[in-house]
Amino acid sequence: MPAALDAIAAVKGRWAGVTDRASLDHPAVNVPASDLVAVLRSLKEEHGFDMLVDVSGVDWSVRANPRFTVVYHVFSTVGHDYVRVAADCADAGAPEVPSATGLWPGADWHERETYDMFGIRFTGHPDLRRILMWDEYPHFPLRKDFPLAGIETTLPDAEVVAETKTGAIAAPMMGGPFVASPGEINLTEAEPRAKDESWTERRPKPGA
Q: Peptide bond before 177: cis, by omega within 30 degrees of 0?
A: yes
Residues 176, 114 within the same domain: no
Strand partners, 123: 98
Residues 90, 59 within the same domain: yes
What angle in degrees, to the nearest 10, is found between the helix axes of 36-45 and 2-14? Answer: 140
Residues 120, 162 within the same domain: no
Q: Are 117 and 68 in contact (CB under 8 A)?
A: no
- pLDDT at 62 (0 to 100): 86
Residues 40, 124 within the same domain: yes
Residues 78, 15 within the same domain: yes
Tell me whether residue 46 is in a domain.
Answer: yes
Tell me the residue ranges of DSSP E strands in 89-151.
Answer: 96-98, 121-123
Tell me whether residue 140 is in a domain.
Answer: no
- pLDDT at 9 (0 to 100): 95
Residues 45, 20 within the same domain: yes
Residues 61, 164 within the same domain: no
Tell me whether residue 141 is in a domain.
Answer: no
The whole model's pTM is what? Answer: 0.76
- pLDDT at 71 (0 to 100): 98
Residues 113, 10 within the same domain: yes
Enumerate residues 6+ apart whose C-beta is below 8 A from 92: 64, 65, 66, 67, 68
Residues 49, 98 within the same domain: yes
Enumerate residues 6+ apart whose C-beta is below 8 A from 60: 66, 67, 68, 69, 144
Spell out the alpha helix ranges (H) of 34-152: 36-45, 107-118
- pLDDT at 107 (0 to 100): 97
- pLDDT at 3 (0 to 100): 86
- pLDDT at 157 (0 to 100): 61
**DSSP H helix total and E strand total for the chain:** 5, 11
CA 47, CA 36: separation in Å to the nearest integer? 15
Tell me whether residue 65 is in a domain.
Answer: yes
Tell me whether residue 31 is in a domain.
Answer: yes
Tell me whether residue 124 is in a domain.
Answer: yes
Structurally, the chain folds into a number of domains equal to 2
Query: Residue 27's domain is classified under what CATH number?
Result: 3.30.460.80
Which domain range does residue 26 map to?
A: 2-132
pLDDT per residue of the chain (208 residues) written in tens, 0 to 9? 678 999 999 999 999 999 999 999 999 999 999 999 999 999 999 999 999 999 999 999 988 889 999 999 999 999 999 999 999 997 756 899 999 999 999 999 999 999 999 999 999 999 999 998 888 889 999 999 988 878 887 766 665 555 555 556 555 445 555 565 665 555 556 665 655 666 566 655 555 5
CA 190, CA 205: separation in Å to the nearest integer? 32
Which residue, 98, 132, 166, sits at the end of a domain?
A: 132
- Encode 139-159: b = buried (16+ Cβ within 10 Å), e = exposed: ebbebeebeeebeebebeeee
- pLDDT at 2 (0 to 100): 74
Q: Are 70 and 57 in contact (CB under 8 A)?
A: yes
Tell me whether residue 142 is in a domain.
Answer: no
